[in-house]
Amino acid sequence: VRALGSRIKGTNGQSQGVIPFLKVVNDTAVAVNQGGKRKGAVCAYLETWHLDIEEFLELRKNTGDERRRTHDMNTANWIPDLFMQRVIAGAEWTLFSPVDTPDLHDKAGAEFKAAYEAYEAKAAAGQLKLHKKIPAVQLWRKMLTMLFETGHPWITFKDACNLRSPQQHVGVVHGSNLCTEITLNTSDSETAVCNLGSVNLLRHLKDGELDREKLARTVSTALRMLDNVVDINFYATPKARNANLRHRPVGMGIMGFADCLYQLGIPYASPQAVEFADRSMEAVCYQAYWASTELAKERGRYSSFTGSLWDQGILPHESIRLIEEGRGEAVDLNREARLDWAALKDRIARYGMRNSNCVAIAPTATISNIVGVSASIEPAYQNLYVKSNLSGEFTVVNEALVRDLKALALWDEVMVADLKYFDGSLARIDRVPDELKARYATAFEIDPVWLIEAAARRQKWIDQAQSLNLYLALPSGKKLDEIYKLAWKRGLKTTYYLRTLGASQAEKASGRDDSVVPDEAPKFCAIDNPTCEACQ
């Protein structure tokens, strides 16, 4: 959509830009709510060079003209590498209207840089009237400021998504989805669709190691199920049907990552957790890609396979070099591989792939609660909290923590009261050992750098992306700048919500004396039965 102020030849008037169109989408999302059962959900992505980007950043603000605000939809920045390089270099950035630069949407990497710099030269020569030059750092600071103030727009990276896409030979990734884990091509003839599933990683731990045989069986079955969905699904539009049947993308993810760390005795904020993220994701991805070759052998390869990175013999972890070529600089990332990827490459060369994409880590909030494990790749939000959704309110307790506290004879009425008082955090409960405090540190007690490092190791193996929330207890401009630059440098494709704590909290009080320790630990069953009246 052309920028605000662009000339419309047919009427000799001026365009109102992107914002009014997004307002219409926002109001549609409010109106279409599945009969009151579920709110509509939308995310809009805008490239960083668009002339309306500064107004786009303010869409979720609670001040200003309400006609130019979208309080009910999500927004995300679609950032090219060139912008990040200019931020780091302290250089200037130029904003354009897409009506004057129509090919920038469809270019990535070195091609984007060449075209963008050519348009800058045109603007400098006076051949493009509608443009604006600003310091790249100034725009970056505004992005981070709005992210902190409103939680939007999310930070996602265009070139990492496109240069590592197995399907770059047949299209362009113009944005991700609502949860930032899907990176599929879109065009005027294709609407991206992806069928998702998640492996409960905790159920595949055995004697402190991943049970590779069990994981292979699980992933093989799950991939077959997801591939079946492509054929039996209901498609609301012909474009969606066309895209899904042509490329057959699926997204196998994981949940219970934090639970695995509990069982292994590893703190989330540790090199060992980063190594486990690397090791476990390599195993899941290897089995997913292998399962897709099995399906290709049985059912045939997907129709657009020829020319893909799979067909070229470039596996996802090998595609990191394509980012390096596009950026003209190295991606600082551990490249170690443990499994026999050469054997997988031979199978792909022989049978092809059934699915253009196989892996994506989606949020698993509700289904994780149902299964009884931690959500997706998230650290524990709190060790004790109440979750609310359309079905009601549910008490969520960290079962692993309760087991460890019971083993140390620390699970008593006072401990329950302390956990409630400190919002599920162990940090200020003196009688809890430091080792346990580190293992059960909550999301806001973990430096987000550890989340990024673990995510970067996972992203190495994944052919799509991952839904990565970042948590900051005490945000500062310097810290925000540090973590999002690190995410880019490590080659992450996307990030999701930036979550921060409220500036104030309600005073807590009880009607009884919680300082009195009972003679023996009460028989709390909250861990097994959240509806128990005694526990409540």
| Residue-wise DSSP of 307-350 | TSTTTTT--GGGGHHHHHHHHTS---------S-HHHHHHHHHH
Q: Give yes or no: 181 in active site.
A: yes
Point out which residues pair with 77 in neighbouring strands. 46, 155
Q: Give yes or no: 179 in active site.
A: yes
- Return the residue matching tokens 């969520």: 396
Nearest to 485 by CA among 139, 81, 179, 45: 81
Of the candidates 47, 58, 181, 378, the residue annotated as catalytic is 181
- Centre a 10 Å sphere on the Cβ of residue 483 and count the other Cβ atoms it contains: 21
Of the candidates 177, 244, 355, 398, the residue annotated as catalytic is 177
Q: Using an 8 Å Cβ cutoff, are 411 and 390 in contact?
A: no
Question: Residue 106 in 3-state DSSP?
Answer: helix
How far apart (Å, rounded) are the C-alpha atoms in residues 230 and 192?
12
* Positive or negative torsion for Cα 76, 53, 158, 271: negative
User: Would you call 9 exposed, middle or buried from its count of C-beta atoms within 10 A (0-12, 13-18, 19+)?
Assistant: exposed
How far apart (Å, rounded) are the C-alpha atoms in residues 240 and 184?
12
Query: For 192, left (φ over 0), alpha (ψ -120 to 50), or beta?
Result: beta
- Centre a 10 Å sphere on the Cβ of residue 385 and count the other Cβ atoms it contains: 17
List the Cα angle 402/403/407 in 5-degree steps: 115
Q: 384-389 and 392-397 as β-strands: parallel, antiparallel, unpaired?
A: antiparallel
Alpha-carbon Rg for the chain in angstroms: 25
How far apart (Å, rounded) are the C-alpha atoms in residues 3 and 5?
6
3-state SS string for 246-282:
HHCCEEEEEECHHHHHHHHCCCCCCHHHHHHHHHHHH
Q: Give yes or no: 469 in active site.
A: no
DSSP letter for 222, please. Answer: H
How far apart (Å, rounded) are the C-alpha atoms in residues 412 and 268?
26
Q: Using an 8 Å Cβ cutoff, are 56 and 73 in contact?
A: no
Q: Residue 132 belongs to what H/E stretch?
A: strand 131-135
Number of DSSP helices (H) and strands (E) in the chain, helices first = 18, 15
CA distances from 82 to 51, 89, 109, 216, 431 (A): 16, 10, 8, 40, 51
Q: Could you give the residue numbers annotated as active site?
A: 177, 179, 181
